[in-house]
């Protein structure tokens, strides 16, 4: 039955446990968790398989978390004193110096981009300036409206008649 203890981790000494959680089967050792592949059941997983899974890096969830490796790394930028990198982003290739990002034009061959070209793109982008973020709108002051007080009618009690 689950949760199932598989044994101690040789490195940390924590117990490795197999669970069947809300989002599927997984193994846990200390604070580290990894999802089990669909072909391995939490009832059949071995300590060796669990340790191999826990040794792998965590997979990014829905596009978050993992940073991509740069396509090319150039020398330091004279402006920011950080290395200029050529990266492949969501909207295509771009160069960055740590502060300014500049898109690479569509016709340009990425593998033939030189350090000077990258600096020119960054300089052009810096002079163009970024988009200024709009501040939050100030709420307009509402006029205080006085509630008209309604006078209550005085209720008269019916006099009871004696029989």
DSSP per-residue letters across 103-124: EPPTTS-GGG--HHHHHHHHHH
**Residue-wise pLDDT tens digits, 11-65:** 888 999 999 999 899 999 999 999 999 898 999 999 999 999 999 887 766 555 5
- Kindly state whether residues 78 and 48 are assigned to the same domain: no
Number of domains in the chain: 2
Q: Does residue 65 sit within a domain?
A: no
Q: Are 37 and 50 in contact (CB under 8 A)?
A: no
- Give the separation between CA 7 and CA 13, rounded to whole angstroms: 9
3-class state of residue 121 by DSSP: helix
Indicate if 123 and 98 belong to the same structural domain: yes
* Residue 67 within any structural domain of the chain: no
Residues 78 and 123 placed together within one structural domain of the fold: yes
Confidence grade of residue 112 (pLDDT, cut at 50, 70, 90): confident
Chain centroid offset of residue 39 CA: 29
Q: What one-character-per-residue DSSP string does 10-26 give?
A: TTT-PEEEEEEETTEEE
50 is in which domain, residue-wise? 4-55
Does the residue 14 lie in any domain?
A: yes
Which contacts (CB < 8 Å, 24+ apart) does range 10-13 have?
A: 10/51
When comparing pLDDT for 66 and 126, which is higher?
126
> Which 3 state secondary structure label does DSSP give 73?
strand
The confidence band for 132, taking pLDDT boundaries of 50, 70 and 90, is low
Burial 91-101 (b: 16+ CB within 10 A, else e): eebbbbbeebe
Average predicted confidence (pLDDT) for the chain: 83
Taking only the tens place, the pLDDT of each residue in 54-80 is 998 877 665 555 566 788 888 888 888
Residues 42 and 2: beta-carbon distance below 8 Å:
yes
């Amino acid at each position: 039955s689950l949760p199932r203890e598989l044994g101690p981790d040789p490195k940390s000494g924590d117990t490795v446990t197999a669970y069947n959680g809300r989002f599927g089967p997984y193994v846990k050792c200390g604070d580290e968790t990894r999802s089990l592949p669909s072909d391995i059941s939490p009832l059949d997983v071995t300590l060796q398989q669990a340790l191999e899974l826990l040794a792998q890096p965590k997979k990014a969830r829905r596009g978050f978390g993992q940073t991509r490796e740069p396509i090319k790394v150039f020398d330091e930028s004279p402006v920011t004193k950080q290395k200029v990198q050529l990266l492949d982003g969501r909207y295509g290739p771009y160069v960055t110096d740590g502060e300014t990002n500049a898109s690479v034009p569509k016709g340009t061959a990425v593998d033939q981009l030189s350090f000077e070209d990258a600096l020119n793109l960054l300089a052009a982008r810096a002079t163009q300036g970024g988009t200024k973020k709009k501040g939050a709108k100030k709420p307009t002051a509402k006029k205080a409206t006085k509630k008209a007080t309604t006078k209550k009618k005085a209720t008269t009690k019916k006099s009871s008649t004696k029989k």
